[in-house]
Structure 1
Amino acid sequence: MTASQSTSTTDGEALTRAENAIQAGNPKQALDILGPLPPSDAVHLAKGRAFFRSAQYAQAAIELEAASKPFGGHAITALIEEAASLRRRADLLLLIKECRRLSPQDTRLLDAYGTILMHLGRFDEADVAFRDSLRRRPNEKGTLNLLVMNLTEQGRFDEALSIMADLRRKHPEDWKIGCNTAAILNNIGRLQEAANVYRETIPLAPQEPALRLNHSIAMLKSGRMAQGWTEHEWRFGVPGHTNLPKDTLLPNISPTLNLQGKRVLVTQEEGLGDTLMYLRYIPALARTGAVVHIWGSSTLADLCRRVEGVAVVQHGGEAPAFDYHCPFISLPRAFSATPDAMGAPVPYLTADPGKASQWKKSLKADRNLRVGLVWAGGARPENTGAQMVDRQRSMPLAALAPLADVEGVTFYSLQKDDAALQCLDFPAPLVDFMPQCLDMDDTAALVSCLDLIISVDTSMVHLAGALGKPVIMMDRFNNCWRWLHEREDSPWYPQMRIVRQTRFREWSDVVTRVKALLEDAVQAQ
C-alpha cells in the first residue's frame, strides 16, 4: 500500500467515525475528528451537518458552500430529510438565510427555501420562492416540478397539470415528467387520462421501479386488482421495502405450489393500517399447509395471535429461519388467482374476550348510541411524505362540532398522539379512555363495545372494519387507491360508508353529510 493509499484509507475511516458521532448525536466529537482532515467535498459536507446539529448556522453555511459545486444540486439538499428526521425543518430556514448571504445569486438556495416552506405548509411563501427562482432561471425543470408539487398541495391541480403538459411537450423523453403527470391525474380521479399517460410513458423507462410502482397504484385505484398487485411488486426496487432475498419471496398460490410444512415469514412493510387490512389473507395461507410466522410490530402482536391459522407472532429481534417470506402487501398478489382473492370475510379480527368484557361492564350504563371519533392520523413529522399526506387526511376536532348537536349519542375519543390534546375543543362531552389503551389489542376491545366508528382515513378504519363494526370514513378529495373512485362503499369492509370531500381540503360538506348519517343511525337504534 502506498503512502497516499494509506492516507486515503485513514481519512475514510475518520469520516466514518465522524458520521457515527453525528448519528449518535455528538456533533462536537464529529468536528474534533474532522478538524485535522484535508479539505474535500465529503469533509465540508460532514462539517456542515455537524455545525447544523450544533445550531451554528453561519459556520454550517460556510462548509456547505465549500461542498457545493456550481452545477448540480446544492449541498444543503442533503440536510432536508436529516432535518426532518430531527424535527428541525424550521431551523433549515435559518441555515438557508446564512447560505444566501454568502451566495445571494444562487437560485438553488431559493429552491431549497421554497421546499422547506412547502414542507412546513407555508404554501404562499413557497410559491413566491419558486417563481423568483424561475424568473432568474426560466424553464428549469427541477424548479418547475417543485412549483407543481406546491400547487398540488394547495389543490390547484389545473395549474399544475398545465405546467406538466408544457414540460412534456418540451421534454418528451423524460419519463419522470410523464410519471408525475399521471400521478396527479390519478390522485384527482381522472383515471383514464392517467392510464393513457402511463401507457405513453412506460416504454421510455420500462425497468424503472418508481414509474412501475406509481402505475400499479393507478391500476389498483381503477379496480384492476389482479394486474395491479403484480405490478405493485416493482416497489421492491424502491428503497424502504423488504431487505429479505427476492429469490425466497412467496410465489403466487397455485395447485402446483406445495407449502405443506413450509415456514412462511409474513412481514410488516408499511403502516399499521396495511397490516390490519391484509391479515385477512392469513387463514387462507394457513389452509395451504404453511406454518405462518408473522414478524410485525409489538402493538399488533396480540391481535395477530388470535387470527385463524397463525403459528408464531414475533416482534423485534432478528429474522428467523424461513422457507418463504412475504410482506403483508404481497399477500393479495399471491392469492389473486385463487378463490381467496379478497381474503377472509369480515370479521377476521376478534377482540380479547376478557378485555372486551371489562369494557362492556364500564359502558353498560350508557344507553345512547356509542360513537367512536378519530379526526387525525399519525402526523409523523419526521417523515416528509407521510406528513404531507396527513395534512390532507386529518382535520381539527373543532370541524366536527356540528355532530355534537345530534341527540341520543355518546361520543368516545379513539384519538391517539398529539391530536388527542384537542378533546376539549369538542362542544359536547367526549369520553376519553385512550390513555388506558396501551396497544391496538386494548383499543380493539374498546371498539368492539361501540356501535359506530366515525374516522378519517387512518388505521382505525381498518381495525374497526376488520372487527365487523359499522364505520363512517371521512375521506380526502384525492383519496388513497384502496377506496377506489366514486364509491361510497368498500369491497374490503362491507359495513363501511365512505363520505368523501367534494372540494380539496374542505371538510364542511363532509361533516354535514356525516351528521345526517349519524341522525339516521340514532333513529335506527
Structure 2
Amino acid sequence: MSGTPDHTLALALDLLRRGQFAHARSILEDCRPSPRVEILLAHAHAGCNRVQEAARLLCRQAVANPGARHPAHDMLGLLLPHDRVEEAEAVLRAVRQRARQDIRTHDMLGELLLQRGRTAEAQEVLAEGLALSPAQLSTGNLMAVCLMEQGEFAAAHDLLSYIVQHHPDSAMTQANLAHLLGAWNRLDAALAAHSRALALRPDDARLRMNHALALLKSGRMDDGWAEYEWRRKMPGRQRLPEQRMLPVLPPDADLRGRSILITREGGLGDMLMMLRFVPVLVGMGARVSIQAPDTLHGLIRRMGGIRRVFSERISLPPHDWHCPFLSLPHVLRNTPGHAGASVPYLHASAELVRQWAPFLPMGTDLRVGLVWGGASRPDIPAAHAMDRRRSIPLRKFAPLAGMAGISLVSLQKGTYARQMHDMPAGMRLYDPMESVRDMDDTAALIAGLDVVVSVDTSVAHLAGAMGCPVILLDRFDNCWRWLSGRTDSPWYPTLRIIRQIHSGKWDDVIHRLCSMLSKRDFPAARRDDARNRR
C-alpha cells in the first residue's frame, strides 16, 4: 500500500499555516501513518487544543530522532502567528511532563515563557534543564538571557563565562556575552567579546550589527556607523538596487541637480533623530524626497527644501540615489555637515499651536508633558521585553501629585494610556491626546509646555529636535542612542538623562525627577518659533 501523496501533505501544511487546524486534522486523520503525517497531525491536534494527543505524537517522533531539533519547534512556528499561545504552552508542558530527561523540552518551554515576559517561571524551567546538563549550550544561553532580564547581570555573566569554557567556539555565546556586557555598561569588555564572536563568524551580519551598536554606545561614531552598514545584508533589509545606494560623499560633494530618495527605516524616534541630516543634503543642492510614516509628514514638509514626502503606500519616485534613514550619518561622515543641522531642526505649526492652546492648563504653573510608556509590540518578543524595561507604571509617579506649582499634561498614547483610569491619589493629569491625530499635533502641544518628561520614546526625540527641555527617564541597560555614563546628549542640547542606578528600580529615578522639577534644574528652551503660550 502506497504512502500519503505529497500533494495531500502539502495541502495539510498550507491549512496549518493559515490557521485552519480542524480542517487539516480531518485530512491527516485519514492518511496512512508515517513520521511526516504524525508530526503534521500533532500540529493540527495542538491547534485544536487536543493537548495530550499532540504531546504523545510529538514525543514519539522526538524519541525517534534524539539528535535533531525537537518537532515541537515547528508547532510553535505554526501556532504563535495565530496567537495560539495558550495552546502552545499547554502542549509544551505536556511534552515536558512526558519527557523530563529530554533537555530540549525544558529549552522550548523556557524560551516561550521568556518571550512572554514570565521570567521567574522561565528561570525555574531552565534550571531543571541545567540540572540535567550544567554546560548545555542552548539552555545556558537562555538562562543567561533570563537572568539579565531580571537585572541579575553578575549571575548571567558567570553563567556565560562557564558556558564559554566548555564551548569556546560558540559564536552565539560570545555574542550573548557581548550583549550582556554592553547592557551592563562595561563597554570595553563588550567590544572585546564582540571581537571574539566575529573571529568565529566574521560574515554574520547580525553579529556585525550588534557590534556596531556597541561601538555607537561607546561613542565611537565613525566606526559604529561604518559597521552598522552590515545591517543591510540581513534578510529583507536591502530592497532597492545596491548600485544606486548613495555612496560616502567627499568633503566637496556637489549634489546640484541630483535626486536623492531617503527611505523609511527604524522607528519614529530613529527617523526624527536622522532628519537632522536632511538639511545638509538640501544645502549641497540635492533634490530630496522622503519616504516616511504619515504621522511625520507635516513636520517634514515644514523643514523646507524637500521635494516630496510620501508613505510606503505610494510607488517610489524617480531618483538618482537612495539612502535609508540610518545610513545618513555614514554617507555624510566626511562632509562639513557631518553633525547635521543644529537644534531646533523641527518646528511646530504656529496655527496648530494656537488650536491646541485651549487644551493646555492655564496659569503660571510649570507645564510638564508626561510620557510613561512606549509601544509594547507583543508580537515581537525582543521589542516587547525592551518595552517592559523602559516603561514606568503611572502609579510610580505618585510623588508628582504632591508637588505645588506643577501642571501635568499627558502626551501618552497607546495601551499605557489606560493606566489613567487608576491614577495615583491626588494626581491631576490633563489629557488632550484623544484628539491628537499625528506627531504634528503632538509637536503643537509640546510647543506650549515648559518641559517634557519621557521614558525612551519618540516623543523624547521630537521634543529634543524642537529644542524643548526634555528629561529622559532611562532604563539601566540603556539604548545606544543615549551613550553610556552621560547625563546629557550630543544629539539634543536641551535633553537631560536620569538613568536607573539598579535595573528595574524606578523609585530613585522619580525622586531625582522631583528634585529637578522643583529646582527647575533643566536647560532652557532653544526655539526660534513663537510659543504662543498664554
* TM-score exceeds 0.5: yes
- The alignment partner of 1:521 has SS state of coil
> Equivalent of 1:224, from 216, 220, 223?
220
Are the equivalent residues in 1 in contact too, given 2:496–2:522 (CA < 8 A)? Answer: no
Task: After superposition, give the CA deviation of every residue in 1:57-95 in whole Å (9 maximum; x if it has no partner).
Answer: 344435544664322322323454665554443443212
- Given candidates 277, 281, 302, the residue that maps to 2:277 is 281
In the other structure, the counterpart of 1:443 is 442
1:472 maps to amino acid = I
Shift of 1:256: 6.9
1:232-269 deviations in Å (ceiling 9; x for gaps)? 01112334534223332221122575543333221222
How many residues matched? Answer: 517
Higher alpha-carbon deviation: 42-51 or 337-346: 42-51
- Tell me the distance in 2 between the aligned counterparts of 1:145 and 1:220: 25
Distance 1:482 1:59, change over 3 A: same
* Residue in structure 2 matched with residue 125 of structure 1 by the alignment: 121
Q: Quickly say closer, same or farther: Cα 1:416–1:103, change in 2 above 3 A.
A: same
**Counterpart of 2:519 in 1: which secondary structure?**
helix
Given the alignment, which residue of 295, 298, 301 partners 1:302? 298
Letter in 2 for 1:334: V
Q: Give how far 1:472 is off.
A: 0.3
Say whether residues 1:112 and 2:111 are aligned partners.
no
Contact 1:457 / 1:475 at 8 angstroms: preserved in 2?
yes
Letter in 2 for 1:289: G
C-alpha distance in 2 between matches for 1:47 and 1:262: 58
User: Does residue 356 of structure 2 align to residue 359 of structure 1?
Assistant: yes
Match of 1:195 in 2: 191
Which of 141-150 and 401-410 deviates more?
401-410
- 1:155 Cα deviation from its structure 2 partner: 1.1
Q: Is the 8 A contact 2:361 2:367 kept in 1?
A: no
| Change over 3 Å in CA distance of 1:362–1:30 after alignment to 2 | same
Relative to structure 1, is the Cα distance of residues 42 and 7 closer, same or farther in structure 2, using a 3 angstrom cutoff?
closer
Superposed CA deviations along residues 389-431 of structure 1, whole A, max 9, x for unmatched, are 0111111001111112211111011111111111132331111
Say whether the 8 Å CA contact 1:84–1:383 is kept in structure 2: no
Residues 115 and 382 in structure 2, CA contact (< 8 A), matched pair in contact too: no
Residue identity opposite 2:227 in structure 1: E
Indicate the larger mover: 515-524 or 210-219: 515-524
Aligned residue in 2 for 1:238: 234
Query: Are the counterparts in 2 of residues 18 and 33 from structure 1 also a CA contact under 8 Å?
Result: no
Shift of the alpha carbon at 1:281? 1.1
TM normalised by structure 1 equals 0.91
In 2, the alpha carbon distance for the partners of 1:38 and 1:150 equals 43
- Paired AA for residue 322 in structure 1: H
Residue number in structure 2 paired with 1:405: 402
Could you say if the C-alpha distance between residues 82 and 338 of structure 1 is closer, same or farther in structure 2, counting changes exceeding 3 Å?
Answer: farther
1:63-78 equivalent positions in 2, closer than 5 A: 64-65=58-59, 68=62, 69-78=65-74
Cα gap change, 1:286/1:50 in structure 2, threshold over 3 Å: closer, same or farther?
farther
Which of the residues 208, 211, 230 maps onto 1:215?
211
Structure 2 SS opposite 1:453 = strand
Secondary structure at the residue paired with 2:310? strand
Question: Is the contact between residue 44 and residue 66 of structure 1 (CA under 8 Å) also seen in structure 2?
Answer: no
Please give the alpha-carbon distance, in whole angstroms, between the structure 1 residues aligned to 2:280 and 2:39. Answer: 52
Aligned twin of 1:433: 432
Contact 2:136/2:163, CA 8 A, preserved across alignment: no
* CA distance in structure 2 between the partners assigned to 1:45 and 1:282 by the alignment: 53
1:272 matches 2:268: yes
- In the other structure, the counterpart of 1:504 is 503
Query: CA separation in 2, counterparts of 1:523 and 1:479?
Result: 21
CA contact (8 A) 2:47 2:87 kept: no
**Is the CA contact 2:135–2:162 (under 8 Å) kept in the aligned structure 1?**
no
Identity of aligned residues (%): 38
Tell me which amino acid in the other structure corresponds to 1:61: A
Give secondary structure in 2 for the equivalent of 1:344.
Answer: coil
**Structure 2 SS opposite 1:134:** helix
- From 358, 371, 384, the equivalent of 1:387 is 384
Hey, what does 1:454 align to over in structure 2?
453
**Aligned AA (1:379):** S
Contact 2:469 2:523 in 1 (8 A): no
CA contact (8 A) 1:409 1:522 kept: no
CA distance in 2, matches of 1:177, 1:137: 16
Aligned AA (2:51): Y
Alpha-carbon offset, residue 141 of structure 1: 0.5
For residue 307 of structure 2, what is the amino acid of its counterpart? A
- Within the candidate set 35, 50, 57, 2:51 is matched to 57
Residue number in structure 1 paired with 2:341 = 344
On the 8 A contact 1:84/1:384 being kept in 2, the answer is no
Deviations 1:349-375 (A, max 9, x none): 122222211112443734311111111
Stretch moving more, 430-439 or 313-322: 313-322
- In 2, distance between residues paired with 1:265 and 1:27? 44
The match for 1:146 is 142
Corresponding residue for 2:531? none
In structure 2, relative to structure 1, the CA distance for the partners of 1:523 and 1:447 (3 Å cut) is: closer
Deviations 1:448-499 (A, max 9, x none): 2111110111111011111111100000111111101110000101100100
How far did residue 384 of structure 1 move?
0.2
CA distance, structure 1, for counterparts of residue 192 and residue 522 of structure 2: 47
Displacement of 1:271 after TM fit? 1.3
Matched-pair contact (CA < 8 Å) for 1:242–1:327: no
Q: Structure 1 residues 61-70 or 292-301, which shifts more? A: 61-70
Aligned-CA RMSD value? 2.7
Q: Does 1:331 align with 2:328?
A: yes
CA spacing shift, 1:53–1:325, aligned 2, 3 Å: farther
Matched, 1:96 2:95: no
Uncovered stretches (5+) of structure 2, i.e. residues with no partner:
525-534
Extract unaligned runs of 5+ from structure 1. Answer: none
State which drifts further: 34-43 or 212-221.
Answer: 34-43
Kindly report which structure 2 residues correspond to 1:369-380, keeping only aligned pairs within 5 A, or say none. 369-380=366-377
Whichever residue aligns with residue 226 of structure 1, its letter is D
Q: Which residue of 2 aligns with 1:263?
A: 259
1:416 aligns with 2:413: yes
- The answer to whether the Cα contact below 8 Å between 2:245 and 2:321 also exists between their aligned partners in 1 is yes
Q: Secondary structure at the match of 1:505?
A: coil
1:176 and 2:172 correspond: yes
* Closer/same/farther in 2, CA of residues 45 and 492 from structure 1, 3 Å limit: farther
Q: Partner amino acid for 2:477?
A: N
Amino acid at match of 1:328: F
In 2, the alpha carbon distance for the partners of 1:384 and 1:102 equals 28
